[in-house]
Amino acid sequence: MNLTKLWAAPIDDYVIDLAWSSDGALLAAASAAGPIHLLDGPTGENRRALPGHDDGANCLAWHPSQSLLATGGQDGKVKFWDAATAQHTATADLGGAWVEHLAWRPDGTQLAAAAGRRLAFLRADGSTLYAFKPAPKTISAIAWHPQGGALASAYFGGVCLWDADDFIAQKEFPYANGIHTLAWSPDRRWLVSGNADPSVHLWLPEDDQEFQMSGYETKVKQITFDHTSSHLATTGGRDVCVWDCSGAGPEGREPLMFPHDAPLCAVTFQHTHGLLASASTDGVVQLWSPERQQPLRATVKMPAPATKLVWSPDDRLLAVGSEKGILYILKVEA
């Protein structure tokens, strides 16, 4: 198996966020300087540069079924763009704090947006469906339940699970430390956080159980499930830790360890296939098959460390955003 470079495109600054449109035709890249670039997925042609946000962009999210892109910036605003025409269609103002987290409900009916301690559900026309009371601390991560009925919102001190239709708190999960990231398993069984302590914490919301895996070298800032929900991969040092979440779960089990020569900066599983991509601060990107006796499948040395790794919807292409402001597309070839 090989990873070959399909194309590279310059972005004007550090690539702070990256996402594929639902059909895989367009790749949106947010630069720290503010503009949003829309590139042709197969060729790398820079279709359009959207003006983005004053002072810089932080995050972006494609609508799950339309050519509608939402972006969040340091100006405290969420902006909506029609990618087909490059027109700015709406703006929502969240009150001044940086907008750092955006996520569409799986059915596309509303957008969750977080800025500082504020969380809001927005409609596609920019109007506010519901604004929640401020969280106890700055919201550090959000994640929709795979069925879309609830949103998990994390802050220093815990996670709250909000009902997406009546906006009440379904459950609260205390956690006495900082949380960097959240992820649901595709089978809806596990809610997992990567933490500052450093550790990984797992909840079984339906069973009111929780588990903890600690001993990481550094803060755990990225976590990713495979499509079967049996493997959970995490950063937190020089080795990718892959935990077995089948059966009774990972507590008490030894993880698989996939080594890099430098600290990890990104990790992500394919959507519907089994390959795991990981990147480290020395510019190395590697592909792994956790179920194989010899799991390493491919290695590529990039010119700069990755900021984001994102698989295309069909899992054939891997987008790599870099610290040097270059966007790369790598193609998986047997």
What is the structure's pLDDT at 298?
97
- Per-residue pLDDT tens over the stretch 141-151: 999 999 999 99
What is the structure's pLDDT at 334?
79
Question: Of all helices (H) and strands (E), which one includes residue 238?
Answer: none
- When pLDDT is averaged across residues 222-242 and rounded to a whole number, the result is 98
- Per-residue pLDDT tens over the stretch 86-129: 999 999 999 889 999 999 999 999 999 999 999 999 999 999 99
Give the pair of three-digit tokens for residue 282: 């020395």
What is the structure's pLDDT at 55?
86
What is the structure's pLDDT at 31?
87
Residue 134 burial by Cβ neighbours in a 10 Å radius (0-12, 13-18, 19+): middle
Distance between CA atoms of residues 52 and 55, nearest Å: 9
Looking up tokens 């999210």 gives 61
- Per-residue pLDDT tens over the stretch 166-195: 999 999 999 999 999 999 999 999 999 999
Per-residue pLDDT at 34 exceeds 80? no
- When pLDDT is averaged across residues 227-255 and rounded to a whole number, the result is 94
Which pLDDT band, with edges at 50, 70 and 90, does 46 fall under? confident
Q: Is 118 helix (H, G, I), strand (E, B) or coil?
A: strand
What is the structure's pLDDT at 320?
97
What is the structure's pLDDT at 277?
98
pTM for the structure as a whole: 0.96
The 3-state secondary structure of 182-215, one letter per residue:
EEECCCCCCEEEEECCCEEEEEECCCCEEEEEEC
- Per-residue pLDDT tens over the stretch 281-322: 999 999 999 999 999 999 999 999 999 999 999 999 999 999
Q: What percent of the chain has pLDDT over 70?
A: 100
What is the structure's pLDDT at 48?
86
- Per-residue pLDDT tens over the stretch 199-220: 999 999 998 899 999 999 999 9
Which pLDDT band, with edges at 50, 70 and 90, does 9 fall under? very high
